Structure 1
Amino acid sequence: MADWDGVAERGVYQGAYQGERDRLSDAAHRGDWAAVLAAVSKSAALVNARRVGGRSGWAPLHQAAWHDAPAEVVEQLLAAGAWRTLRSADGERPVDVAARLGRDALLPLLEPVPVHPVPAKALRAMEHFLHALVRVRTEHYAVRTALVLPQACVLTELPDAALWFGVPGMYGGFGIHLEEAGRAPRLRVTSHCRMVGYSGRTHHITPDGCVLVESGW
Structure 2
Amino acid sequence: MAEWDGVAERGVYREQYQAELDRLSDAVHRGAWPAVLAAVAGPQLPATSSGLANARRIGGRSGWAPLHQAAWHDAPAEVVERLVAAGAWRTLRSTDGERPVDVAIRLGRDTLVPLLEPAPVHPVPEGVLRAVEHYLHALIRVRTEADRISSALLLPQVAVLTELPDAALWFPVPGMYGGFAVRLEDVGTAPRLTVKSHSRVVGGSGQTHHITPDGCVLVESGW
Say if 1:116 and 1:182, in contact at 8 Å, map to a contact too: no
2:194–2:209: 8 Å Cα contact kept in structure 1? yes
Could you report, residue by residue, the CA deviation over 1:157-194 in whole angstroms, capped at 9, with x for unpaired residues? 10000000000000000000001179411000000000
In structure 2, relative to structure 1, the CA distance for the partners of 1:92 and 1:119 (3 Å cut) is same
1:21-70 deviation digits (Å, cap 9, x = unpaired) = 10111100010001101111113521101000000000000000000000
Match in the other structure for 2:57? 51
Q: State the aligned residue count.
A: 217
- Provide the residue aligned with 1:155 in structure 2: 161
Residue among 124, 149, 152 paired with 1:146: 152
Structure 2: how far apart are the matches of 1:183 and 1:7? 34
Q: How does 1:122-133 map to 2 (within 5 A)?
A: 122-133=128-139
Alpha carbons 1:119, 1:183 under 8 Å: kept? no
Structure 2: runs of 5 or more not aligned: 45-49
Residue 181 and residue 20 in structure 1: after superposition, are their counterparts in 2 closer, same or farther (change >3 A)? farther
TM-score (norm 1): 0.98
Q: How has the CA–CA distance of structure 1 residues 31 and 182 changed in structure 2, closer, same or farther, with 3 Å as cutoff?
A: farther
Please name the residue that 1:171 is paired with: 177
Q: Contact 1:3/1:45 (CA < 8 Å) preserved in 2?
A: no
The farther-off stretch of 10-19 and 64-73 is 10-19
User: Counterpart of 2:200?
Assistant: 194
SS in 1 for 2:190: coil
Aligned Cα root-mean-square deviation (Å): 1.0
After the TM superposition, list the runs of 4 or more consecutive aligned residues in structure 1 that deviate by more than 2 angstroms.
none
Residue 47 of structure 1 aligns to a residue in which SS?
coil
| 2:81 equivalent in structure 1 | 75
Structure with greater proportional helix content: 1
CA contact (8 A) 2:80 2:115 kept: yes
Counterpart in the other structure of 1:88: 94
- Residue among 118, 128, 145 paired with 2:124: 118
Q: Secondary structure at the match of 1:125?
A: helix
SS in structure 2 at match of 1:5: coil
- Amino acid across the alignment from 1:38: A
Distance 1:181 1:154, change over 3 A: farther
Work out the percentage of aligned pairs sharing the same amino acid.
76
Relative to structure 1, is the Cα distance of residues 192 and 77 closer, same or farther in structure 2, using a 3 angstrom cutoff?
same
Match of 1:13 in 2: 13
Give structure 1 stretches of 5+ with no counterpart: none
Name the structure 1 match of 2:114: 108
